[in-house]
Amino acid sequence: MEIVNPGKQYKIANTMVYSCQYHIIFASKYRRKVLTAKIDARLKELVSEKQEEYGYRVIEMEVMPDHIHLLLDAHPKVSIVTIVNKIKGYTSNILRSEFPSLRSRIPALWTRSKFITTVGSVSLEVVKHYIENQKNV
């Protein structure tokens, strides 16, 4: 049996074929609505400019007044937690230096927490069924 998935792009690196996408959400400290229009635009620039250096590709991104949604594609050798922590640290440092109101309103830009989930185009049940039936093929 073969998993055919025409909508998914796979990457090849040495001896590995992979496709790893993640939906990430993290919020401003105390969920304060500090991510205004100018900060929103600058935040998107900052996240986009670190893609190659940090080892991810932005598929989609939206900034809400008190949190951000990211859909990232990343190499499986790079920890997604490391990527997210780098993004949060870098953006906090730059934004708090460029927008002094962020320093006066909250002690840190981001909460320590984050939501991370994998995104796939086949369900867990389909993969489970595929594995269970390998010997029947």
Q: Are 44 and 36 in contact (CB under 8 A)?
A: no
DSSP 64: -
Task: Give dist(CA 40, CA 102) in Å, integer.
Answer: 13
The reply to whether 10 belongs to the active site is no
CA distance 115 to 119: 13
Count of CB atoms within 10 A of residue 70's CB?
A: 22
Sign for the CA dihedral angle at 61, 111, 76, 1 comes to negative
Nearby residues of 101 by Cβ (< 8 Å), 6 or more positions away: 34
CB 68 within 8 A of CB 62: yes
- From the candidates 18, 30, 90, 130, give the one annotated as an active-site residue: 130
Known catalytic residues are 130
